[in-house]
Amino acid sequence: MASDKSERGFNRRSSAYQLDILRGHAKKNAWTGPPLDTIYAGLAIKLNHHAAVVAIAVRDCTYLLDFFEHQFEESDSNHISSREIADFVLTRLRDYSREHCERFMGIAMPEEVFVRIPTLCSRLWHELDILPIVFREDIAISTFWLKSKGDKVEAKSEVKKSTDELSESMARRCLRFFGPGNNPILEVGLQGLVEVDSSLRIRIATEDDYKDTVGPTTWAAVQHYASDLKDRNVKIAFFSATPQGGGVALMRHALVRCAVNMGVDLKWYVPKPRPGVFRITKTNHNILQGVSAVDERFTAEHQKIMTDWINENANRYWVSPGGPLSAPADGGADIVILDDPQMPSIVSLAKQIAPNRPVVFRSHIQIRSDLISTPGTPQEETWAWIWERIKMADLFISHPVASFVPANVPREMVGFMPATTDWLDGLNKTMSDWDVAFYGRVFNTLCRNSQIPTINFPDDQYIVQIARFDPSKGILDCLDSYAKFFDLLSEKKPDVKPPKLLLCGHGSVDDPDGTVVYDSALRYLKEDLPELADNVCIIRLGPTDQVLNALLSKAKIALQLSSREGFEVKVSEAIHKGKPVIASLAGGIPLQIQHGVNGFLVEVGDTDAVAEHLFELWTDHDLYKQMSHAALNTVSDELGTVGSALGWFYIASEATKGKAVKPNAAWINDLARKVASQPYQKGENRLKRAVKVEDMK
């Protein structure tokens, strides 16, 4: 242990009166009371062979609030370890937060600190839920401001800052990365490149963190392909319609982050939005799922708008030399992956420019292939337009449900991959009760502002469905199921306090139906179920992942009653937290649930069955404990970011070697494991390998 001496300590004094109010709620980790004030920090560390100086500056959005400086000195027998310094920084930040009942949202530091103490950022994120931001002095904030790819900002010649000055400077710069609601500001840079994690300045995970999320065979397999892609400098380019809001965006943020940690060149591009386009794309989405209005059609005018939108973006940003759609010899991507049926023209453009370059199309929604096969239907017309533009693709990747693949797609080009989630991001990471309570109070403040019932955990228990307010998410079925459960409980167990019902989810920039569905749910509750108004919370939330994480973490039971669904990985997110799930037999949902083991499966619209299962789980404590324990041990590696990386790295590695990848309706994960010589081990969790809904239960 190195010897140490403190030179300057924190000396700020908070209001004793205000602290008494806050500590009463904080002591119980209750969701009642006002939310904590948010603060930010800057960190600077001067390291040499014999001593280390640690400086921490604390500020709010306006003022410098406090400052701390501490010096470590090397003893005769011990060097100063990076672990020792990391422990010290985390302890000081945790203690300061608890003492002042305030919440650190972010901390900024020079890149030298990140390099010298490589576990610090990950620990700040996972142990304290503080967003770590690393500044590199010679690189621009965003590629948007660069004249050409690869340019750097010339470092200014200046006197080296002292640790106290540098820490305060870092605290000020930290503020720049946060927008409304204390969310990191999303950045889209040059050529529509999504600047994941603020151009990778935000560092929330290390390669070792990803390794710990999967078993050894999965990790060995993904490393097999990552090494090949790195050795050959393969460039992978993903395209989708939006950088934020839906499941595709969540997966791509996570995949880019993971790929960077593994040294794989994977980038993600989105088009510049155009007014009116997202109304058309959402209508197409509804048409293909069979939930659109009878008279809705994908008209010739709509087709022209869509085509012009993609061609304009391609010509302005992607096809010029160095752009992702330019030929590989001109600096373009070696493989192109279209992650969205909203932009089918990307496939034909990529093939026209480089005919031998592999191009992959991924379909991420439930497609009513039965209606597509019926001449004259809106589904047949919409799919015909899409297929004409994607039929040149080398691979057609679908959710693992056979009926999602239209009959005119050749079987040999079809491969199955599930949706995935990231166990290390704000939606899923394990948070302390202190942090969960912080977000619970934030949530209740939003409820009060919207004049809807709050959830005063731990006194209130609740059932939750987390999903977008979409016509296919079964929102009204949730309300009807809860009403029947409430009556059943009142009749058979009148002394048992019922849980509340929470229906919530994020919005999305390309989902104009959200407000309509949200309003209809509130109207239905008010007009048809007024007696339950005080027990039901229906709310749309902003894009704060940790709020949803907190709500799922403390829920007793999760619902997913979709009428139409692609995969809905929210089911596995709930199971991963040990929550029994009651869900409908829709899309890929039943692949994730072992009926009677970690949840229950019901027919779409069977609200009586949902109510019965809710009653069982709420009143039979042994059954609940059994299912909760089973849930913690039944999540497959396929459903995390590393599992996703394995599938995409396999496709990119094989296809860019000139090999013809022909899945023939096989699971991509299975093919990847086989080629990497990493077979499944006895007892290793896998999703069900059924692709017909009737075989999934």
Tens of pLDDT, residues 323-373: 999 999 999 999 999 998 889 999 999 999 999 999 999 998 778 888 888
What are the two backbone dihedrals, phi and then psi, of residue 477, each rounded to the nearest 5 degrees?
A: -65, -35
Domain ranges of the chain: 3-185, 210-422+643-688, 433-638
Tens of pLDDT, residues 173-224: 999 999 888 888 889 998 999 999 999 999 999 999 999 999 999 999 999 9
Q: How far apart are the first and last CA of the chain?
A: 57
Position 7 confidence tier, pLDDT thresholds 50, 70, 90? low
Are 23 and 36 spatial neighbours (Cβ–Cβ below 8 Å)? no
Tens of pLDDT, residues 452-485: 999 999 999 999 999 989 888 999 999 999 999 9
Indicate if the pLDDT at residue 46 is higher than 70: yes
Q: Do domains 3-185 and 210-422+643-688 have the same CATH topology?
A: no
Residue with tokens 């090949």: 228
Rounded to whole angstroms, what are the CA distances from 274 to 55, 155, 206, 284?
46, 37, 37, 16
Q: How many angstroms separate the CA atoms of 528 and 357, rounded? A: 57
**Quick one: which H or E segment has residue 266?**
strand 265-269
- 3-state helix vs strand vs coil in the chain, percent to 5: 45, 15, 40
Class of domain 3-185: alpha beta
CATH topology of domain 433-638: Rossmann fold (3.40.50)
Tens of pLDDT, residues 393-416: 999 999 998 989 999 999 999 999
- Enumerate the β-bridge partners of residue 560: 583
| Helices 120-128, 82-100: crossing angle, 10 deg rounding | 30
Indicate if the pLDDT at residue 2 is higher than 70: no
Per DSSP, the residues of 28-44 read TT-S-SPPPEEEEEEEE
Are 343 and 349 spatial neighbours (Cβ–Cβ below 8 Å)? no
Q: Can you list the positions of beta strands (E) in 621-667?
A: 666-667
pLDDT value, residue 511: 61
Ranges 43-57, 94-108, 579-593: which has the least confidence:
43-57
pLDDT value, residue 147: 45
Of 402, 393, 282, nearest to 339 by C-alpha is 393
Sign of the alpha-carbon torsion through 142, 148, 151, 155:
negative
pLDDT value, residue 158: 46
Indicate if the pLDDT at residue 674 is higher than 80: yes
Mean local confidence (pLDDT), 581-606 = 94
Rounded to whole angstroms, what are the CA distances from 674 to 157, 223, 255, 670?
54, 14, 22, 6
CATH topology of domain 210-422+643-688: Rossmann fold (3.40.50)
Tens of pLDDT, residues 107-148: 999 999 999 999 999 999 999 999 999 997 655 444 444 444
What is the strand order of the sheet 462-466 is part of? 536-541, 500-506, 462-466, 557-560, 581-584, 599-602
DSSP for residue 149: T
Position 543 confidence tier, pLDDT thresholds 50, 70, 90? confident
pLDDT value, residue 4: 56
Tens of pLDDT, residues 585-597: 998 899 999 999 9
Q: Which residues contact 104 (CB under 8 A, 6 or more apart)?
A: 38, 39, 40, 41, 93, 96, 97, 128, 130
Tens of pLDDT, residues 278-333: 888 888 888 887 777 878 898 999 989 999 999 999 999 999 999 999 999 999 99
